[in-house]
Amino acid sequence: MKRVKHCNIGILIACMFWAFTGFAQTKAELKASKKLFEGSWVNKKAQRHLTISFDDADYATINDWHGKWSDDNNTIDAYKAFVNKGILVMPEDKTDLRCPYCEILRKENALLYRCRGMNTKDKRFIEQILFVREKN
């Protein structure tokens, strides 16, 4: 029985370590992701815009809005995304902020922004939209 108890504790510690390092990224991964994703992106048909920045943190900040940019535009959503295997991952948030699991990946010269449904174990993406670099 003592051996089983120690085995269970070992498995628990391994799971906790994996959970805390699930989005760990190296400086090289962050630098490569910054080159791929950072900047302003647009989907003209949907009139939707993204700005992606990395600053000095180990995550990307994504600002998402519809319509034209203005100083009094108060409808901008901000998200925190972590780099995982070359993809920007925004984990599902079930708190009062309420946002589904989403990810952004590079598709040639565009970004594919895709999301799953809220509160579901279904792994299918229900929303997908392409963005291209915005020309200044």
**CATH code of the domain made up of 25-133:** 2.40.128.210
Condensed to tens digits (0 to 9), the pLDDT of residues 65-109 reads 988 766 666 678 888 999 998 999 998 877 766 778 899 999 999
pLDDT tens digit string along 23-72?
A: 556 778 888 889 999 999 999 999 999 999 998 778 999 999 988 766 66
Q: Is there a contact between 99 and 78 (Cβ–Cβ < 8 Å)?
A: no
Q: What local confidence, expressed as pLDDT, does residue 69 receive?
A: 66
Nearest to 49 by CA among 83, 73, 32: 73
- Which pTM value belongs to this model? 0.74
Q: Where are the domains of the chain?
A: 25-133
For residue 30 the two structure tokens come to 């962050």
